[in-house]
Amino acid sequence: MLLLVLSIPSVVLLLAGVLFLSALVEQRFLSPRAVVLSTVRARRSTPEYTEAMVAKQFEEMLRRAK
């Protein structure tokens, strides 16, 4: 009985932790801003590629805002 009572809060905490980590990963690595910044910071990317990537991400953000 005690194990059942303790398992419910632990499952809730586990789910909250997974949701927090997924939001953090999405914000830091998968957001359009993070993609643009990683492209700009890359040493091997050419200015033309960077410009095209920034324009593509900007267009996608404008479409989502509508």
Q: Answer yes or no: pTM beyond 0.75.
A: no
39 Cβ contact list (under 8 Å, min separation 6): 45, 49, 50, 53, 54
Q: What is the average pLDDT across 28-51?
A: 83
**For 29-40, what is each residue's pLDDT tens digit?**
888 888 878 877
**Helix, strand, coil shares of the chain as percentages rounded to 5?**
90, 0, 10
